[in-house]
Structure formats: C-alpha cells, structure tokens
Amino acid sequence: MEKGKLKSTRESIITVLETRFENVPTNLVDAINEIDNIQSLKQLTKTAVLIDYLESFATLLSQK
C-alpha cells in the first residue's frame, strides 16, 4: 500500500508541474521519482501548486 501511495503522490506532483509549466525536464521527473518519503512528497505537492517558477522548484528539489 505504501508503494502505491508514493507512486500516486509522485504522479500528482508531476501532473501539477506539467499543468502549470507544460514541459517538465526528465531529470526533474527522475528526481521526484527517487523520493521515498511520503511527507516530503506531500510538501512538494503543495510547493508545486504554489511556486512561481519551475526553476525555483528544481532548486528547492535539489536541496532535499
């Protein structure tokens, strides 16, 4: 069940980013898919909705 929740949350983040910014680089998608902490993913979901620039999201993600 945990794996399903992780996968679903990762897909939600990617969908939000694609909806807001259209093109999401593969390296960003790969980095999101490597995260195994559900709390971090939940926070990133909120961030994906609120952040102004995809570059800012990428910078934040690289700091995790």
pTM score, two decimals? Answer: 0.92
Spatial distance between the Cα atoms of 49 and 8, rounded to a whole number of angstroms: 16
Backbone angles phi, psi at 37, to 5 degrees: -105, 115
Percent of the chain at pLDDT > 90 equals: 91
User: What are the structural domain ranges in the chain?
Assistant: 2-62
pLDDT given at position 3: 87
CA distance 42 to 22: 21
Which parts of the chain sit beneath pLDDT 70?
1
For residue 28, the model assigns a pLDDT of: 97
